[in-house]
Amino acid sequence: MSRLTHLDDQGSARMVDVGGKTVTQRQAVARGRITMTPEAAAAIVAGSVQKGDVLAVARVAGIMAAKKTSDLIPLCHPLPLSKVEIDLVLDESGVTATATAATAGQTGVEMEALTAVSVTLLTVYDMAKALDKRMTIGDICLLSKTGGKSGDWHA
């Protein structure tokens, strides 16, 4: 097993120094799902959720969350994101969210993509909870990452 980079020689948490790393184009894609009753899904499709356009608000929330990842995850570096895209697919049992984050930088954007998906799905829950309090968020995972020293990875 490789050394954990977020721990110093004494085992204390630290922010990794990426100053000497080469700037490369980096991209990460993450996915997650929220399941719900057919009635809740139908209300989202019909646009009859009292709080407004669920998918539009969730998409904006995911983009905003990606930009704030370093404020939420203690050891993440703040990154100048060049792209954050949220794709939402609604079916009769829920919403699948896929987030793509990209940057030209010295460290990857996996956490930004995962944070974007998580907050997107939490926003769907918040907006539709009056219709279905048993919604379940899950299957959040990294699908791929490109760029950087460790190269490309695909699930």
Consecutive H or E run containing 65:
helix 54-67
Catalytic-labelled residue, pool 126, 132, 139, 152: 126
How are strands ordered across the β-sheet holding 153-154? 81-91, 94-105, 24-35, 136-146, 153-154
* Percent of the chain predicted with pLDDT > 70: 89
Residue 70 φ then ψ, to 5°: -65, -20
Decide if pLDDT at 2 tops 60: no
What percentage of the chain reaches a pLDDT higher than 90? 78
Measured CA to CA, the distance from residue 143 to residue 31 in angstroms comes to 7
* Catalytic (active site) residue 126: yes
Phi, psi dihedrals of residue 153, rounded to the nearest 5°: -140, 135
Please give the pLDDT value at position 119. Answer: 98
pLDDT, tens digit, for every residue of 94-142? 999 999 999 998 888 999 999 999 999 999 999 999 999 999 999 999 9
Tokens representing 77? Answer: 């570096």
CA distances from 128 to 20, 41, 48, 135 (A): 46, 9, 10, 9
pLDDT of residue 106: 86
